[in-house]
Structure 1
Amino acid sequence: MLAALEDAAGDLGRLDATAAVLTNSEALARLLLRAEAVGSSQIEGLVVGARRLLKAEVLRERQQDVTAEEVLGAVDAMTWVTESVQAGDKLEIEHLLEAHRRLMAHSPNPELGGEIRYLQNWIGGRSPAEAYYVPPPAHLIPELLADLMTFVRESRLPVLAKTAIAHAQFESVHPFADGNGRTGRALIHLILRADGLVQRTVPPVSLSLATHAAQYVEALTAFRHVGKPTGPRARTAANQWLLLFAAACSHATAEAAGFERAAADLKDAWRERAAPVRAGSAVELLIETLPAAPVLTLAGAARLIDRSQQAANQALARLVEARVLREVTDGRRNRIYEAPELIDAFTLLERRFASPAADTRIEPPSRPVPSRPVPTRRRH
């Protein structure tokens, strides 16, 4: 078990080191962050494909997609985690509360955001009597969260062991009326960043956990039991969960590394199709930053590359002509563009994660995923 955790930690470290030498790794990290939010939300039954999510993000102010909006809440929470926590930071309860506020801000119940529950909750069944798990009563939660965050700050366990145990304990406490699962998975990334294991990328661990959701729930359920903490039952349950978590981290890093290579190859192909591309030009900047926003508007493109709308418009037109982008709206106002090859690569990433064999042609997806992209024939 310790060897599996060490291997997974090494995988995460190598993924982060690779991101350090990639051109504009921040753009890829933003897309992997969305993959993590998609996976975390799928575990809770919120199923939204890549294209739908990315389009909903662009149209957020103009047209509301209720399910996508909830997934975007997970994106907002994870964005805050990556922008607010650095190596060496001391994590406090307020970090959990703020992540939960961001998550719930656009949910049907935003008033629950950042508020510790004051009523008893339960998991499964229509009442506590029928539940398969009843979390601790509300009056114990402040003390239990304080104990959890002390463990997070002071434990000398290997980072991944500490992260896995902290996540399982958070899920056992279940401190909120809603959004516990997604906040608990955000806690994973809070710890990985604060402990310095991951700084430049976002390994989509939740996409792997979503594929093995039954084993994930089973392992967390076994982890919480009444009995001696050092007894054989406790050791078996802890090992079961730690091995599953280590496997999810290794799976996430392998798929993320493959996706980063695919994205880098795409950018090289785009430069060839749009050639000549002058260094520092609006076209070059847009190619480099497209992974951060594969669906975008003119205003979004101008913000992304920090150039005028005129320069951004010319770059968009050039990339449409080069078949890097395509316009997906009619009319001259509020045009929306997408990078179909990048979205297809993102979709294939989802599909690989969803197959227990990491290939849907060998073993079908174990959960809902977008259809396999249809290859398009290119004009020459």
Structure 2
Amino acid sequence: MHRSPPGRYVTVATAEEPYQAFVPAPLPPQPPLAWTPALRRRFDDALVALGRLDAVSALLPNAALLAYSFVRKEAVLSSQIEGTQSSLADLLLFEIDEQPGVPLDDAHEVSRCVAALERGLALLRGGLPLCGRLLCEVHAVLLDHPRERGKAPGEFRRSAVWVGGTRPSNAAFVPPPAGALPACLAAFERFLNDQPEATSPLLKAALAHVQFETIHPFLDGNGRIGRLLIVLQLLADGVLREPLLYLSLFFKTHRRLYSERLNAVRLHGDWERWLDFFAEGVQVSAAQAVVTAQALLALANEDRDRIAALGRAAQSALAVHQELQRQPLTTAATLARAAGLSAATVNKSLAHLSALGIVTELTQRQRGRVFSYPRHVELLNAGLPPPRA
């Protein structure tokens, strides 16, 4: 279905040359969405897949450990969309102060994406609703790096931005001028919090993602914040209990189609094709996450049973194994701090785990050795494209 553009163009006069900027209309779309049987079925399938994913997290004894891994997987993928070359292994090495296989700035950028989502989760769980303040705090964490200081971390932009081209007048898309941002963001915040009327959570997440990317409220980092917002919205509305959904893989795999669907909304008001694409992404991503979660659980249980057979050494080895699920690339010193064990005990446990084939030592050095839980890392990496893909 094609409508007129869901907003209006305004002419912005500048000293150089005037240009057209797009100011989106408030959500929900008008006229109302055309819900064909196929689109309803797509949303039903996506909701079923999300329900299965949430059920997995409810049944897992180590759901928090799994969420820790999935948050990092999503951060790596989201950052790759923005051009970083960091892999999951690079991030894990960076987190234990080891040299990753990519420039440090790339690994640091991914670690900021992890910290940004964790900040958003903490604010939500502390009772703050999805709002401008939350988005700004998440943005401040995302851009917490010396090279980002000129990009106004934690602040909505006060100047123009554009997508494509060398200046606003020849850009592919120009979001609202800074003067229109307060009204756009106020309406957006009301929609996120079901004012003046409630919107079903999955539909809300789909519509809100387009609206956020269209408003483009920050000087930089809008893509990463917009992808984080999807998971935060589903958590805020109780659809998910843990951040186990990583949609960035689907968006990266179908990057061209993603851009086409967004542009079709802005140009023609074609919300329905975007909704079909988004719901398919949720369905595919949730199903993949369930498979990964179940495989990681089976691996943890299998290895736990083997460790339990160690006898007196089992208790400390199990504690180390638990921490390896949180940090599958790590050092003995890091494990000792996390597990509350002595260095000697951790080293003995690592020797037992190495003998069982659960742990591999990577560095072949006497001090500061790096250990890997390789099968855990392999399962997390399953299906991931290389950074340059």
Q: Compute the TM-score of the two structures, normalised by the length of structure 1.
A: 0.84
Partner of 2:214: 172
Partner of 2:68: 30
CA distance in 2, matches of 1:286, 1:19: 22
Identity %: 34
CA distance in 2, matches of 1:40, 1:130: 27
CA distance in 2, matches of 1:9, 1:106: 38
Change (3 A) 1:110 1:342: farther
Partner of 2:43: 5
Aligned residue for 2:147, secondary structure, equals coil
CA distance in 1, matches of 2:235, 2:116: 14
Q: Compute the TM-score of the two structures, normalised by the length of structure 2.
A: 0.82
Change (3 A) 1:268 1:142: same
CA distance in 2, matches of 1:84, 1:284: 32
The amino acid that maps onto 1:67 is D
Deviation at 1:60, TM superposition (A): 6.5
Aligned length: 346
Partner of 1:213: 255
- Structure 2: unaligned runs, 5 residues or longer: 1-38
- How do 1:282-293 residues align onto structure 2 when only pairs under 5 Å count? 282-293=316-327
Deviation at 1:331, TM superposition (A): 3.0
Deviation at 1:273, TM superposition (A): 4.5
Deviation at 1:107, TM superposition (A): 6.5
Cα offsets for 1:190-216 (capped at 9, x unmatched): 211110111124211111111111111
The amino acid that maps onto 2:249 is L
Aligned residue for 1:121, secondary structure, equals coil
Partner of 1:126: 166
Candidates 280, 284, 287, aligned match of 1:251:
284
Deviation at 1:100, TM superposition (A): 0.7
Is the CA contact (8 Å cut-off) linking 1:33 and 1:202 kept in structure 2? yes
The amino acid that maps onto 1:78 is L
Deviation at 1:119, TM superposition (A): 1.4
The amino acid that maps onto 2:222 is N
Deviation at 1:168, TM superposition (A): 0.6
Deviation at 1:176, TM superposition (A): 0.8
The amino acid that maps onto 2:373 is A
The amino acid that maps onto 1:97 is C
CA distance in 2, matches of 1:190, 1:201: 8
Is the CA contact (8 Å cut-off) linking 1:27 and 1:290 kept in structure 2? no
- Structure 1: unaligned runs, 5 residues or longer: 226-232, 352-364, 370-380
Cα RMSD for the two superposed structures: 2.4
Cα offsets for 1:269-328 (capped at 9, x unmatched): 323554515698221123234232111122321233343434333322221222211222
Is the CA contact (8 Å cut-off) linking 1:89 and 1:194 kept in structure 2? no
Partner of 1:321: 355
Is the CA contact (8 Å cut-off) linking 2:56 and 2:293 kept in structure 1? no
Deviation at 1:259, TM superposition (A): 0.8
CA distance in 2, matches of 1:167, 1:249: 13
Matched, 1:70 2:70: no
CA distance in 2, matches of 1:267, 1:137: 52
The amino acid that maps onto 2:159 is L
Deviation at 1:61, TM superposition (A): 9.7
Matched, 1:139 2:187: no
Candidates 89, 96, 107, aligned match of 1:51:
89
Matched, 1:267 2:309: no
Partner of 1:368: 388
CA distance in 2, matches of 1:323, 1:117: 52
Partner of 1:158: 200
